[in-house]
Structure 1
Amino acid sequence: MNESSESLISASNKLIYISNAGVLIQLKDRKILIDGLCRSNNPIYKDPSPEIAQKIKGGIPPFNDLDLMLITHEHSDHFDPVSVDEFSKNNPGTVILSTPNVITKLRTYDSMEMDKEQANLIEFNLNLHQEETLNFQGMKIRIISLAHMGKNQEETQNYAYLIEYGLKLLHVGDADAVSENYNQLNLVPQKIDYLIAPFPYISIPSARRVIKDYINPQKIAVLHFPHKELDHFGWIKATRKSFANVKEAFIKTNFLEELGTTLIL
């Protein structure tokens, strides 16, 4: 973690940027890790550093006593079954929640030594735009199935998670920023404190309209940026240029690019 992260680590409500779309969220006495353990098949995206991955798997602070591990979908830049399996064995008290494909991979993984029927794995099998609510240790988790962005992703189950525990945070995974995904969710009255979303949500004008019309959070944290040295398509520069044109009139937005960056919530 960088120096600023270390100085902020004691704050009770914070978000630490861990990997490509991975964040550690601490809300008072609760800790949730979302998409933190990944091993991307595409090297342009950021895996957790070996040091951080080992800390997560070993339950070493600040990753000790995790209440929930949430995984948005099975793609390698969001989920590594080998790492999550190791984490699960070392941290049996942490509940892992995800899609059927993710949970099936964990239940059938060869090295799984725990009782596969008793492991703390929760599977929600949701149709597109269907949702469920889980009340867990005082937290309210709204699990929403949203269409994954990009072509040929119709079969990918992507879950967004709206976490409510004092604050309200929405992590959308790789959900497409289109009105069809959000126009029936009634999110604006929820007064969401933080939207956590991939960078196209602020780089594309139509996506920004979706945010304003259907989510309207207090703040935004954008991630899923490629490594700068591998950004051959110029996505980072294009995102910053596009956002600069609307920055003053748009919702306050934090760019999560450097692993270890910490936001006080």
Structure 2
Amino acid sequence: MMINTEKDMGNYIVKKVLSVAMLCALLSLSQVKAHQTHENTHQVNEDKQGSAHYLGNEALLVIHGGHKVLFDPFFHNDFGFYQKVPEHLREKMFKGIAPFNDIDVIVISHAHEDHFSAEDIVTYLNQFPQVTLVGPSQAIAQIQAHTDNASVTNRLLGVSMSFGDAPWQKTVKGIQFDAVRIPHAGWPRRADVENMVFRLAFDDTNSVIHMGDADPLTSHYVPYNALWDASKTKLGFPPYWFLTSAEGRYILNDIMHIEETVGVHVPLNISVLLEQSGKAFFNQPGSIKTF
């Protein structure tokens, strides 16, 4: 640009200042969008689309169409490797502070101590009498060992099945549940652990899958092809080891027909293989994925 007069110079400077200001505003907006928190997003997500809020390890809050579901929300043992739920998020859950208000269902994948605390569950269910809990019979037994309060135990829905049994199917609080027992990672070790894979359908096109600590062996999933083929799943939360192996990715994409995945159970020290996979994963509590 040729500048011939002081007036031209003034106009040039004004334009440059405005351009820089606009660029800064756009960058600031993108940063806000990339670092959304529970406080500034839950209302939009709740009203217009589904959202998954990461709490720690495999703990999630999933919101869709007015429904709110907590997966594996209370635990205390991180084994020195995994992300605990931060205290400020635990406090919000126990106080019912948004977005943790009006929870419909708690889902427990299995009764390991990096996923489950019976004591915390009893405390929470005593405080929030509208909440139903769905989980494997091993988790239910631990809860019942900590309370004989009928107002709590009457809201426990146990899932008991052996490997290869037909899927457990039930509508809970207007949400369609499908559950199958898939061996815990490390098969055939830990064969005694009731690890459940839960698919929750909020409507005909919006569903999520939580897999607990499922083992990534194709033969575990093929017997349930009729279930996976019946409808695609919008969003899945596999443990991270599915994302770092070809067989794991094949199970998610070609057998279970999950359209999009976000890995969970990610160690504090993220593996190189996971980083190199290019796949999405949760490792920062407060992160949100919409669907």
TM-score scaled to structure 1, two decimals? 0.87
Q: Residues 41 and 222 of structure 1: is their aligned pair in 2 closer, same or farther, counting only changes over 3 Å?
A: closer
Which of the pair has more CA radius of gyration? 2
- Quick one: distance in 2 between partners of 1:47 and 1:100? 24
| 1:249 corresponds to | none
| 1:70 corresponds to | 107
- Quick one: distance in 2 between partners of 1:58 and 1:8? 19
Displacement of 1:155 in angstroms is 0.4
Q: Quote the sequence identity (%).
A: 18
- Assess if the C-alpha contact under 8 Å between 2:56 and 2:284 holds in 1: no
- Assess if the C-alpha contact under 8 Å between 2:56 and 2:283 holds in 1: no
| 1:247 corresponds to | none
| 2:282 corresponds to | 256
Identify the match of residue 254 of structure 2 among 190, 200, 213.
213
| 1:250 corresponds to | none
Q: Residues 116 and 106 of structure 1: is their aligned pair in 2 closer, same or farther, counting only changes over 3 Å?
A: farther
**1:20-59 CA-partner distances (Å, limit 9, x unpaired):** 0011000111001011111125021122111211221232
**1:211-246 CA-partner distances (Å, limit 9, x unpaired):** 22201211101011111xxx3xxx5222112x14xx
| 2:67 corresponds to | 30
Q: Indicate yes or no: 2:256 matched with 1:223.
A: no
Q: Residues 209 and 35 of structure 1: is their aligned pair in 2 closer, same or farther, counting only changes over 3 Å?
A: same
Please tell me the residue identity of whatever aligns with 1:104. A
- Provide runs of 4+ in structure 1 moved above 4 Å: none
The SS at the match of 1:223 is: coil
Identify the match of residue 183 of structure 2 among 144, 147, 163.
147
| 1:248 corresponds to | none
Listed as ranges, the gaps of 5+ residues in structure 2 are: 1-33
Instruction: Report how many aligned residue pairs link the two structures.
Output: 247
Q: Which has the higher helix share?
A: 2
The SS at the match of 1:4 is: coil
- Assess if the C-alpha contact under 8 Å between 2:83 and 2:283 holds in 1: no
Q: Indicate yes or no: 2:147 matched with 1:106.
A: no
- Assess if the C-alpha contact under 8 Å between 2:218 and 2:247 holds in 1: no
Please tell me the residue identity of whatever aligns with 2:162. N
| 2:28 corresponds to | none
- Assess if the C-alpha contact under 8 Å between 1:59 and 1:90 holds in 2: no
The SS at the match of 1:254 is: coil
Please tell me the residue identity of whatever aligns with 1:127. S
Identify the match of residue 136 of structure 1 among 168, 172, 195.
172
Q: Which has the higher strand share?
A: 1
| 2:208 corresponds to | 169
- Assess if the C-alpha contact under 8 Å between 1:73 and 1:173 holds in 2: yes
The SS at the match of 1:184 is: helix
Q: Residues 118 and 4 of structure 1: is their aligned pair in 2 closer, same or farther, counting only changes over 3 Å?
A: closer
| 1:126 corresponds to | 161
Question: What is the CA RMSD across the aligned residues, in angstroms?
Answer: 1.8
**1:38-93 CA-partner distances (Å, limit 9, x unpaired):** 11250211221112112212322211111110000000111011211211111121
**1:168-196 CA-partner distances (Å, limit 9, x unpaired):** 11111111111122112221441110111
Q: Indicate yes or no: 2:40 matched with 1:7.
A: yes
| 2:220 corresponds to | 181
Please tell me the residue identity of whatever aligns with 2:237. I
TM-score scaled to structure 2, two decimals? 0.80
- Quick one: distance in 1 between partners of 2:96 and 2:152? 23
The SS at the match of 2:214 is: coil
Q: Residues 65 and 150 of structure 1: is their aligned pair in 2 closer, same or farther, counting only changes over 3 Å?
A: same
Listed as ranges, the gaps of 5+ residues in structure 1 are: 245-252
**1:79-133 CA-partner distances (Å, limit 9, x unpaired):** 0112112111111210011111111111111xx3622775311112111132210
Displacement of 1:254 in angstroms is 2.4
